[in-house]
Amino acid sequence: MRRQNFIFELIILLLIVIFLLIPPVLTSPSAAINQFETWAFPLRNICISIFCLALYFIYKKVFGQKKKIFYPSLLALGCLIFFSLILKFIASHFNTGVIQVVNMPGGAKELFYCFLTFITGAIYEEIIYRFYLADAIRHIAGPRQNKRLEKVLFFVCEVFACIAFALAHRYLGIFAVINAALAHIVLRFLYVKTGLIWNCVLIHFVYNIISLILL
């Protein structure tokens, strides 16, 4: 039974890597620009979010974080905005690095589609990158008797999840990659300290809205 569970979990992880982690890394800037020129019904995002919600409830008891201490959500949001502003200021002094691919929605219909796009994007990105990826790899690898080896495995898994999320924003330029890496660290820390993935989803969603309107 344990071997069957291992094979099942490994297959799920490989499918997520192939279909959810690799495609964003290969997305070209031109494809991203075409995607956000006009706001459309985010069917793909909704389907991925439904899959990720099922993934969350399946694995919640397997490696879900227990609530430890209260970590100020507004502080996390402030860190995300601060990092973004600093990087945008630095990027403004270079000819490359910032690619504007998001247009303001026009009308109630596009505004609704924009809301759906951002909320579903926040849901599946938080579940995949903050809740699932690092803990799933560590869980599949199994417990290690050697504490030093366990610490190395922990570090490798966390770094891999951070890099995967950062590279998913490669189409926006190098400064967006750096910003995404910093955002992952803040949001992952928020999740580990609170055990509340929906807290991260809310912060992610609010940050995206602020980025669209103000940043």
140 CB burial (10 A radius; 0-12, 13-18, 19+): middle
Q: What is the pTM of this model?
A: 0.92
Question: Within 10 A of 136 (CB to CB), how many other CB atoms are there?
Answer: 22
Could you report the per-residue pLDDT of 122-168, keeping only the tens digit for each? 999 999 999 999 999 999 987 777 888 889 999 999 999 999 999 99
Could you report the per-residue pLDDT of 63-104, keeping only the tens digit for each? 766 676 667 888 999 999 999 999 988 888 776 544 555 677
